[in-house]
Amino acid sequence: MGSRLILNTRGGYQFLPGIAPYSSGVISAPGHQLVHATLKKPLPWNTGLPAVRKYLENSGFSRFNLCGVELRCPAPHAMSGFIEFNRGYRGLLEEWDMLVDGQNPLARTNVSPVVSPPGETVLHGFSYSAPSELKETTFVVAGGGELPHRDLDDKHIVRFGETSEDALLEKARCVIEIMKIRLHQLKADEQTLSTIDVYTAHPIHRILNDVIIPEITAAARIGVHWYDTRPPVQNIEFEMDMRGVQTEVVVDLQS
């Protein structure tokens, strides 16, 4: 995983390079803050993103201010299906000229709800940069599961095919390490975290006490949001993302 922050001059933020479909995280540039938005009602991703673009442009921003995307998919993909979806998703970003020196700057999370999943992949939320006088930096860490390599291959999944308590603890430790590395490489202050999200269909009480809180101490103060979901790839069982923002909004993109 890359460690050099790249400035997106058109967007007002820096990003940590990841893989072709998404970056590993984003952090505000001087004079900007990151804003997190949740859709009042999810939209299909390929119509939702154009709606986000229109929303930003109508708000006095540009498409380049978009820096994070949150998706919900019907069911976990086979690895080949996940790769295929990513081609179409990145293709739209390329059409919009969103890449920076060939790198995808947008952070992303994509998970599948256990109960009442959508019939197609939908846009759940997004993040964008906006001019601001805030002195603190604001940031979004992209979603990551127990796949600690850039290469999307089943052989790299930690404790592949296992869901015992011991295996889940090991998977969680892997994910927490990924989150900590990304925080460090983003030069983000853990104590300014505002949201910590966990995505798994498995119980998290022991994981919370034995893994998350000891490693991310802010979790004891701000709590953890647990989504009863599965990561977007079959046989990945545990995913997290996090952010440190000061502005959260709910938007209706269908109005």
- pLDDT tens across 19-68, in order? 999 999 999 999 999 999 999 999 999 999 999 999 999 999 999 999 99
What pLDDT is stored for residue 128 in this prediction? 98
245-254 residues labelled b (16+ CB within 10 A) or e (exposed): beeeeebebe
In a domain, 115, yes or no: yes
Task: Count how many domains the chain has.
Answer: 1
Is 61 in contact with 32 (CB distance < 8 Å)?
no
In a domain, 142, yes or no: yes
Q: Which of 58-72, 137-151, 199-213 has the lowest mean pLDDT?
A: 137-151
In a domain, 52, yes or no: yes
What pLDDT is stored for residue 255 in this prediction? 53
Q: Which of 26-35, 147-156, 218-227, 233-242 has the lowest mean pLDDT?
A: 147-156
What's the whole-number mean pLDDT along residues 100-126?
A: 98
In a domain, 161, yes or no: yes
The share of the chain scoring above pLDDT 90, in percent, equals 94
In a domain, 92, yes or no: yes
In a domain, 76, yes or no: yes
Domain range for 117: 6-251
Please report, for residues 23, 147, 148, the alpha-carbon distance to residue 151 in angstroms, rounded to integers and kept in the order given: 14, 9, 9
The share of the chain scoring above pLDDT 70, in percent, equals 98
What pLDDT is stored for residue 70 in this prediction? 98
Q: What is the CATH number of the domain that holds 111?
A: 3.30.1330.40
Helix (H, G, I), strand (E, B) or coil at 224: coil
**Pairwise CA distance, residues 252 & 194, whole Å:** 23
Q: To the nearest whole number, what is the mean pLDDT of the chain?
A: 96
Q: How confident is the model at residue 1 (pLDDT cuts 50, 70, 90)?
A: very low
Residue-wise pLDDT for 177-191, tens only, equals 999 999 999 999 999
Please report, for residues 8, 25, 33, the alpha-carbon distance to residue 3 in angstroms, rounded to integers and kept in the order given: 15, 11, 22
In a domain, 152, yes or no: yes
What pLDDT is stored for residue 152 in this prediction? 77
Instruction: Say if residue 221's pLDDT is above 80.
Output: yes
In a domain, 61, yes or no: yes
What's the whole-number mean pLDDT along residues 116-142?
A: 98
